[in-house]
């Protein structure tokens, strides 16, 4: 292969960041190429240097970075010989002419990558304004055309909207429109779907794939998700700690991985074909010694009622007041939780799946008594008599708090940066007046041991830990009071795949050894599938389907569950996403669900129909359960 | 939005009422009233006091009435444009204040403009050249500006002006124009004098604004949308002006609310040192001698400016930031 055929050729790229007291080498001598018209995936964990490479190509590295090596860009539209992008003057004219016009980029966070103060159309048409001399009318016309192209139903209206008026998926579409305005030769997509829900992710991937082949454009897809890679890439480059460890066509990489890191990465992703009891292989396994915790607590009563928590008819409405320039503001009411009922059985793990905004976190907050529902009841019965959680106050509420604990999504903001690990872990014990200071320190030590952290860490502050270690501190804090029910709200969403496997295995082991009951909330079906015994699927505030794990995975009935399952990208070349069937099932768009599942705008028209074997699906009351089966 | 404006204006009424009650209470708090301090002053000078005359004055101004009633009269008169009578100057308050108010507004206006003109370029430079020598140097000058009290700077300037130029820089105009109506020569004289108090009063404000603009802009420069703009191929200068600077303006606009009263009340000591014909020295004297109507009117004026300033900044924010204008307020 001659260098002339490559669109982009990276040779011996080194990037170092000077930080306080030294230098960090983010990329160490990377070599790879991008072929014209093909999708090249750059795969690696966070901190592996993959984003730094893309920034180096665009010349938008932060000023503390130093770069060496060559990045040759061979623009098919230009007659000239390849340009070394690194040799161009920083922010000079030449690189400015390439940026946005010949190489463009879309970013991970559609929330923050658009300016909140400027209209969508203004920001998109700006690209054309910089690179061409189109007049105002042409700018608007071409921008609207592009907005329609990326899937805006009403481009004229979208042009004058502000980013905060759009959903995450639509913002990412606007970003894509912006990146493609000048028909670039290379599109760099830096984790373009990581911040999106799974059904939206599938739509964006489909859009990118379509546009990429239609415009015959090359794409550098940066991601950590092997499922996305399998569905999108022609070529794969694997980066680990700043070094390219494996590169080649997607077939070779998936069917015959060579490097131990790549093999490990593939084994660490939960997938739907796992046998019952099969364990994920974390890249760095952490031993769990929950047994040490048992010494400090009475052995859990094996008897007691079968159902630990019983939730009936929960409703919660949030109202939003919006105002226009003139006239009165209108109040829109949003039903976050809509007649939700479920049981959590003693010792089981109930998975709660749904996309962002479906109300799953609100349900967990209601269980924790952090949000007061409009109606409904939550009954908690740990064998000492049933209590109505929502009516408790004073000492009774405090006693309940010790029995329900929570693990949060963000391991960074859920730990106080001003408290040592010892303070963090002993605080719950102090609040509930358990033991004396000496005993508490001992408990903290056994907690650390239980979650696989070294006891020497006891006086450190959270900032000196990695994301996975912090999440383990969060889990240890939740376990400090030996709760009956552990609510995990997206505990692994903020973590890398390899660390994710660690935490999932830890939670699984702890559940088994301590006999914990868990409510496991996640948007990731594969993760819930790995953890849960029964799964509840939530959409628009309602539980649309509830079934034992195998039943739900093998035999989903509700169209929303089906579309969720269909939208998960498998890290398997033989099971690519079927984009056509995705659109047919309609996803969270209730109008496209079948008549038997749609409430037709009526209140209380839907009812959980029993399909037998603990399988419930939300459908119209009049519908016979046989009609629900496909 | 119209509803929002009306609502904001409606809220001003109870706010001002509460402030007026506070002002009245504070003025009433010290024992005695203007007449008692007047008597004490006369006695100290060894002069006889005509108690009958004082008693009749007391009755005339309702000082024998209960405080609540006096408060109601006071507020009622103010609403009709009658700010009461200054005992010290033996003139209606509006006549005593008169010109001084307009001169104060003039000084403040120039000070604000001065602050903005100086602070903006320096703040932008310091943020875009963080940790450069220019940034450090300007930050040092700024910190000195914050640290030196205004009146001290005034004294230093007066001293050097006297030594180097042999002129006295006090006052806002040549003394001969003081009682004259406004004419061309008087205006010229004012312009000749006004730059000194403007620099002195503006120094601390400028320095503070540079620091805040730098901090805000630095925050915004880190944001993802700045990278997006660069990735579009926008030149660094145009990126800066269109995106982060626009965002950093929010703080600046919310500052307007506090800048008005701060400049008017903060300049009092400087005004005394420089013997400016502004309202500051008069307010302090009125408070000392318990000249209740004069002091009360001043304090109400300051409160009114604060409330107006906050209103202006809130409305300007709503105009400039679509998120405030269009996004609904959520209720839990």
- Does the distance separating the beta carbons of B330 and A320 come in below 8 Å? yes
Q: What percent of chain A has pLDDT over 70?
A: 90
pLDDT tens by residue, A476-496: 999 898 888 999 998 888 787
Which residues on B lie below 8 Å from A130 (Cβ)? Answer: 232-234
Question: Phi and psi of B13, rounded to 5°?
Answer: -65, -55
How many residues would you count in chain A? 630
Residue B319 lies in a domain: no
Which residue, A16, A498, A44, A52, is CA-closest to A244? A44
- Does the distance separating the beta carbons of B331 and A319 come in below 8 Å? yes
Tell me, what's the pLDDT at A264? 85
CATH of the domain at B180: 1.10.3720.10
Query: What is the DSSP secondary structure assignment for residue A568, as one 8-state letter?
Result: S
A99, A113, A164 member nearest B323 (Cβ): A164
- Does the distance separating the beta carbons of A116 and B322 come in below 8 Å? yes
Could you tell me if A412 lies within 8 Å of chain B, comparing CB atoms? Answer: no
Domains A1-102+185-268 and A291-321+331-555 share a fold: yes
A97, A130, A323 member nearest B3 (Cβ): A323
- Does the distance separating the beta carbons of B332 and A318 come in below 8 Å? yes
Tell me how many residue pairs between chain A and chain B have CB atoms under 8 A apart: 109
Give residue A268's pLDDT band: very low, low, confident or very high (50, 70, 90).
Answer: confident
Tell me, what's the pLDDT at B102? 80
Could you tell me if B332 lies within 8 Å of chain A, comparing CB atoms? Answer: yes
CA distances from B46 to B39, B42, B50, B57 (A): 10, 6, 13, 21
Q: What is the mean pLDDT of residues A18-41?
A: 87
Q: How far is B220 from chain A (nearest CA, A)?
A: 11
Listed ranges A103-107, A407-411, B26-30; the one with the highest mean pLDDT: A103-107
Give residue B331's pLDDT band: very low, low, confident or very high (50, 70, 90).
Answer: very low
Give residue A296's pLDDT band: very low, low, confident or very high (50, 70, 90).
Answer: very low
Residue B3 lies in a domain: no
Tell me, what's the pLDDT at B263? 64
Give residue A626's pLDDT band: very low, low, confident or very high (50, 70, 90).
Answer: low
Which residues on B lie below 8 Å from A162 (Cβ)? Answer: 322-323, 326
- Does the distance separating the beta carbons of B233 and A96 come in below 8 Å? yes
Q: Angle at Cα A357 formed by Cα A352 and Cα A362, nearest 5°?
A: 60
* Substitution target from A112, A117, A126 for chain B, most B beta carbons within 10 A: A117
Tell me, what's the pLDDT at A629? 66
- Does the distance separating the beta carbons of B232 and A100 come in below 8 Å? yes
The answer to whether the beta carbons of residues A553 and A565 sit under 8 Å apart is yes
Q: What ipTM goes with this model?
A: 0.75
Give residue A587's pLDDT band: very low, low, confident or very high (50, 70, 90).
Answer: low
Tell me, what's the pLDDT at A406? 93
* Substitution target from B218, B220, B232, B318 for chain A, most A beta carbons within 10 A: B232
| Range B158-163, long-range pairs (CB < 8 A, 24+ positions) | B158/B273, B158/B274, B161/B196
- Does the distance separating the beta carbons of A98 and B231 come in below 8 Å? no
Tell me, what's the pLDDT at A564? 86
Could you tell me if B223 lies within 8 Å of chain A, comparing CB atoms? Answer: yes
- Does the distance separating the beta carbons of B243 and A329 come in below 8 Å? no
Give the position of tokens 């950590």: A224
A107, A319, A328 member nearest B224 (Cβ): A107
Give the chain A residue whose CA is nearest to the CA of B317: A117
Which residues on A lie below 8 Å from B328 (Cβ)? Answer: 320-323, 329, 332
Q: What is the mean pLDDT of residues B289-311?
A: 82
Give residue A291's pLDDT band: very low, low, confident or very high (50, 70, 90).
Answer: low
- A213 Cβ contact list (under 8 Å, min separation 6): none
Give the chain A residue whose CA is nearest to the CA of B220: A115
Q: How far is A286 from chain B (nearest CA, A)?
A: 35
Tell me, what's the pLDDT at A567? 85
Give the position of tokens 């860009």: A73
- Does the distance separating the beta carbons of B229 and A164 come in below 8 Å? no
Q: How deeply is B45 buried, as exposed, middle or buried, from its count of CB atoms within 10 A (0-12, 13-18, 19+)? A: exposed
Number of domain units in chain B: 1
Q: What is the mean pLDDT of residues A574-597?
A: 69
Q: What is the mean pLDDT of residues B52-77?
A: 80
Residue B13 lies in a domain: no
Quick one: tokens of A456?
Answer: 């020497």
Q: What is the mean pLDDT of residues A85-110?
A: 88
Q: What is the mean pLDDT of residues B36-40?
A: 76
Residue A2 has pLDDT above 60, yes or no: no
A49: left (phi over 0), alpha (psi -120 to 50) or beta: left
Tell me, what's the pLDDT at A3? 45
Tell me, what's the pLDDT at B264? 64
Q: What is the mean pLDDT of residues A432-446?
A: 88
Residue B107 lies in a domain: yes
Could you tell me if B4 lies within 8 Å of chain A, comparing CB atoms? Answer: yes
Residue A203 has pLDDT above 80, yes or no: yes
Q: What percent of chain B has pLDDT over 90?
A: 3
Residue A294 has pLDDT above 60, yes or no: no
Q: What is the mean pLDDT of residues B194-201?
A: 83
The span from the CA of A579 to the CA of A161, in Å, is 29
The span from the CA of B131 to the CA of A236, in Å, is 41
Q: What is the CATH number of domain A1-102+185-268?
A: 3.40.50.300
- Does the distance separating the beta carbons of A109 and B1 come in below 8 Å? no
Could you tell me if B243 lies within 8 Å of chain A, comparing CB atoms? Answer: yes
Which residues on B lie below 8 Å from A321 (Cβ)? Answer: 328-331
Q: How far is A98 from chain B (nearest CA, A)?
A: 7
Could you tell me if B235 lies within 8 Å of chain A, comparing CB atoms? Answer: yes
Give the chain B residue whose CA is nearest to the CA of A374: B332
Q: Does the A291-321+331-555 domain belong in CATH 3.40.50.300?
A: yes
| Range A604-612, long-range pairs (CB < 8 A, 24+ positions) | A604/A339, A606/A542, A608/A341, A608/A543, A608/A546, A611/A547, A611/A557
Q: What is the mean pLDDT of residues A407-422?
A: 89
Could you tell me if A131 lies within 8 Å of chain B, comparing CB atoms? Answer: yes
Tell me, what's the pLDDT at A325? 47
- Does the distance separating the beta carbons of A116 and B323 come in below 8 Å? yes
Residue B142 lies in a domain: yes
The span from the CA of A539 to the CA of A197, in Å, is 12
Tell me, what's the pLDDT at A601? 66
The span from the CA of B8 to the CA of B307, in Å, is 10
Could you tell me if A357 lies within 8 Å of chain B, comparing CB atoms? Answer: no
Which residue, A557, A565, A94, A514, is CA-closest to A289? A514
Residue B100 has pLDDT above 70, yes or no: yes
The answer to whether the beta carbons of residues A35 and A218 sit under 8 Å apart is yes
Give residue A293's pLDDT band: very low, low, confident or very high (50, 70, 90).
Answer: low
Which of helix, strand or coil describes residue A311? strand
The span from the CA of B147 to the CA of A419, in Å, is 35
Mean residue pLDDT across chain B: 81
Q: How far is B56 from chain A (nearest CA, A)?
A: 56
* Substitution target from B233, B250, B322 for chain A, most A beta carbons within 10 A: B233
The span from the CA of A283 to the CA of A502, in Å, is 8
Listed ranges A246-260, A263-277, B288-302; the one with the highest mean pLDDT: A246-260
Could you tell me if B329 lies within 8 Å of chain A, comparing CB atoms? Answer: yes
Q: How far is A58 from chain B (nearest CA, A)?
A: 7
Give residue A404's pLDDT band: very low, low, confident or very high (50, 70, 90).
Answer: very high
Give the chain A residue whose CA is nearest to the CA of B320: A117
Which residues on B lie below 8 Å from A113 (Cβ)? Answer: 224-225, 227-228
What one-character-per-residue DSSP string does A124-178 give?
HHHHHHHHS---HHHHHHHHHHHHHHTT-S-HHHHHT--GGGS-HHHHHHHHHHH
Tell me, what's the pLDDT at A356? 80
- Does the distance separating the beta carbons of A162 and B228 come in below 8 Å? no
Tell me, what's the pLDDT at B68? 85
- Does the distance separating the beta carbons of A323 and B328 come in below 8 Å? yes
Residue B206 lies in a domain: yes
Give residue A536's pLDDT band: very low, low, confident or very high (50, 70, 90).
Answer: very high
Residue B140: domain span:
99-284
Per domain, the residue ranges of chain A are 1-102+185-268, 111-181, 291-321+331-555
Give residue A169's pLDDT band: very low, low, confident or very high (50, 70, 90).
Answer: confident
The answer to whether the beta carbons of residues A185 and A36 sit under 8 Å apart is yes
Residue B22 lies in a domain: no
What one-character-per-residue DSSP string does A506-557 give?
HHHHHHHHHT-EEEEEES-HHHHHHH-SEEEEEETTEEEEEEEHHHHHHS--
What one-character-per-residue DSSP string does B96-113 give?
HHHHHHHHHHHHHHHHHH
Residue B87 lies in a domain: no
């Amino acid at each position: 292969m001659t260098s002339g055929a490559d669109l982009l050729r990276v040779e011996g790229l080194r990037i170092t960041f000077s930080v306080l007291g030294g230098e960090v080498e983010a990329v160490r001598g990377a070599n790879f190429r991008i072929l014209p018209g093909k999708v090249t995936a750059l795969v690696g964990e966070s901190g592996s240097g993959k984003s730094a490479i893309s920034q180096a190509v665009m010349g938008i590295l932060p000023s503390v970075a130093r770069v060496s090596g060559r990045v040759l860009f061979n623009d098919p539209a230009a007659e000239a010989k390849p340009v070394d992008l690194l040799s161009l003057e920083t922010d000079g004219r030449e690189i400015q002419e390439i940026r946005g016009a010949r190489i463009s980029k879309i970013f991970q966070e559609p929330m923050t990558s658009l300016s909140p103060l400027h209209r969508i159309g203004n920001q998109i048409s700006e690209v054309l304004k910089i690179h061409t001399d189109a007049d105002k009318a042409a700018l608007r016309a071409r921008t609207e055309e592009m907005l329609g192209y990326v899937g805006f139903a009403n481009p004229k209206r979208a042009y004058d909207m502000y980013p905060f008026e759009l959903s995450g998926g639509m913002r990412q579409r606007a970003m894509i429109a912006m990146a493609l305005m000048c028909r670039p030769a290379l599109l760099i997509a830096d984790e373009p779907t990581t911040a999106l829900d799974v059904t939206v992710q599938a739509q964006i991937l489909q859009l990118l794939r379509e546009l990429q082949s239609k415009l015959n454009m090359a794409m550098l897809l940066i991601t950590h998700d092997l499922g996305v890679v399998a569905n999108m890439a022609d070529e794969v480059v694997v980066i680990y700690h700043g070094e390219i460890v494996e590169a080649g066509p997607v077939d070779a990489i998936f069917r015959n991985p060579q490097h131990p890191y790549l093999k490990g990465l593939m084994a660490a992703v939960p997938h739907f074909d796992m046998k019952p009891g099969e364990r994920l292989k974390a890249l760095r396994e952490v031993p769990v010694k929950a047994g040490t915790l048992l010494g400090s607590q009475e052995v859990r009563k094996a008897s007691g009622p079968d159902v630990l928590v019983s939730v009936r008819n929960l409703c919660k409405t949030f109202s939003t007041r919006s105002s226009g320039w003139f006239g009165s503001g209108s109040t829109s009411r949003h039903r976050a939780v809509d007649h939700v009922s479920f049981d959590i059985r003693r010792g089981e793990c109930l998975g709660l799946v749904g996309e962002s905004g479906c109300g799953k976190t609100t349900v967990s907050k209601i269980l924790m008594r952090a949000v007061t529902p409009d109606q409904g009841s939550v009954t908690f019965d740990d064998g000492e008599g049933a209590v109505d959680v929502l009516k408790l106050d004073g000492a009774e509420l405090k006693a309940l708090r010790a029995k329900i604990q929570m693990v949060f999504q963000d391991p960074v903001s859920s730990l106080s940066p001003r408290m040592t690990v010892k303070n963090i872990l002993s605080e719950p014990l102090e609040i509930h007046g358990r033991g004396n200071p000496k005993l508490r320190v001992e408990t903290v030590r056994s907690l650390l041991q239980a979650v696989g952290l070294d006891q020497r860490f006891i006086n450190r502050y959270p900032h000196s830990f990695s994301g996975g270690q912090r999440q383990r501190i969060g889990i240890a804090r939740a376990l400090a009071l030996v709760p009956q029910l552990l609510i995990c709200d997206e505990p692994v969403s903020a973590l890398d795949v390899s660390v994710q496997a660690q935490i999932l295995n830890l939670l699984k082991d702890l559940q088994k050894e301590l006999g914990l009951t868990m409510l496991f909330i996640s948007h990731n079906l594969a993760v819930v599938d790995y953890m849960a015994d029964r799964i509840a699927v939530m959409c628009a505030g309602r539980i649309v389907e509830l079934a034992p794990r195998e039943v739900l995975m093998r035999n989903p009935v509700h169209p929303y569950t089906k579309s969720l399952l269909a939208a998960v990208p498998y890290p398997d070349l033989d099971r690519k996403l079927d984009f056509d069937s995705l659109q047919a099932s309609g996803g969270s768009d209730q109008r496209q669900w079948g008549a038997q599942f749609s409430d037709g705008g009526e209140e209380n028209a839907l009812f959980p129909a029993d399909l037998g074997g603990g399988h419930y699906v939300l459908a119209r009351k009049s519908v016979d359960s046989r009609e629900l089966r496909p | 939005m119209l509803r929002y404006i009306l609502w904001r204006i409606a809220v001003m009424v109870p706010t001002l009422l509460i402030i007026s009650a506070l002002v009245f209470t504070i003025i009433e708090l010290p024992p005695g009233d203007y007449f008692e301090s007047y008597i004490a002053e006369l006695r100290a000078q060894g002069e006889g006091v005509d108690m009958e005359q004082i008693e009749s004055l007391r009755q005339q101004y309702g000082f024998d009435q209960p405080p609540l009633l006096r408060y109601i009269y006071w507020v009622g008169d103010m609403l009709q444009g009658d700010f009461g009578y200054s005992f010290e100057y033996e003139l209606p308050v509006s006549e005593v204040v008169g010109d001084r108010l307009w001169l104060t507004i003039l000084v403040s206006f120039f000070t604000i403009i001065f602050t903005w003109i100086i602070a903006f370029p320096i703040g932008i430079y310091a943020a875009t050249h963080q940790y450069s020598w220019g940034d450090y140097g300007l930050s040092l000058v700024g910190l000195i500006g914050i640290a030196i009290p205004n009146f001290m700077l005034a004294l230093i300037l007066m001293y050097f002006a006297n030594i180097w130029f042999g002129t006295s820089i006090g006052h806002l105009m040549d003394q001969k124009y003081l009682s004259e109506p406004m004419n061309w020569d008087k205006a010229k004289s004012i312009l000749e004098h006004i730059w000194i108090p403007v620099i002195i009063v503006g120094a601390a404000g400028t320095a503070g604004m540079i620091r805040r603009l730098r901090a805000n802009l630095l925050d915004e420069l880190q944001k993802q949308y700045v990278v997006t703009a660069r990735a579009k191929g926008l030149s660094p200068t145009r990126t800066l002006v269109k995106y982060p600077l626009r965002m950093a303006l929010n703080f600046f606009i919310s500052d307007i609310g506090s800048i008005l009263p701060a400049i008017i009340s903060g300049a009092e000591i400087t005004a005394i040192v420089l013997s400016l014909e502004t309202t500051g020295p008069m307010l302090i004297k009125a408070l000392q001698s318990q000249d209740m109507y004069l002091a009360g009117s001043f304090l109400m004026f300051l409160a009114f400016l604060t409330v107006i300033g906050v209103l202006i900044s809130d409305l300007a924010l709503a105009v400039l930031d679509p998120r405030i204008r269009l996004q609904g307020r959520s209720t839990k």
